[in-house]
Amino acid sequence: AAEIREQIKTGTHFLWIGNAMEILGTYIETDQGEKIEGLGIFPLHAKRQMLKRLSSLFLGSKEGIEIVGAKAQFTQQYLEDESFPSFCQVKRGIGLHVGSEVEGIHYKNFIGTAILGPFLILNPPFVERWVEALTGHDDTVLPFAALNRAAYEKRVKELRDPKTTL
């Protein structure tokens, strides 16, 4: 835990997808109420519900960029400090937990989100900005950029449409 904490503190870039970030919280509560201790790096905990999987499509926003993907999870995450920085705002779908207006965490250069995808392929504007932050160059051109951007814009349009079921 100390090494991960130090790397986060010093600005190493991390992108943890799925339920991976839960281990960095204070605990994970099982269906039976048992608490599995986490590493305590972030002020969040998770509650597992193995017989009730949550699934939804997802549309959110992050610093002017729309974030798309899907969620399929057996846990819900809860921030223990509501002022802790989130990854994105929820527009449609499930956030950290049912009813949450935020998804994931973004602390320094650590990003953790339960949004699935394939996350990076589905979100080229996010990837461009993230790669620029990693490299310090603002001339990032992703492979198949035009095709990927067209698919992204189509997905955003679909998810904005209230007729699209989540």
φ and ψ at residue 64, rounded to 5 degrees: 85, 0
φ and ψ at residue 159, rounded to 5 degrees: -75, -25
* CATH class as words, domain 2-119: alpha beta
Q: What's the confidence (pLDDT) of residue 51?
A: 93
Q: Which residues pair with 54 in a beta bridge?
A: 73
pLDDT, tens digit, for every residue of 102-159?
A: 999 999 999 999 999 899 999 999 999 999 999 999 998 999 999 999 999 999 999 9
Q: DSSP code of 76?
A: E
Q: What's the confidence (pLDDT) of residue 122?
A: 97
φ and ψ at residue 95, rounded to 5 degrees: -90, -145
What pTM was estimated for this model as a whole?
A: 0.94
Report residue 80's pLDDT band, with 50, 70 and 90 as the boundaries: very high
Ordered by start, the domain boundaries in the chain are: 2-119
CA distances 53 to 45, 78, 102, 109, Å, are 17, 17, 19, 30
Q: How far is CA 73 from the centre of its chain?
A: 12
Q: DSSP code of 116?
A: B
Report d(CA 4, CA 21) in Å as an integer.
12
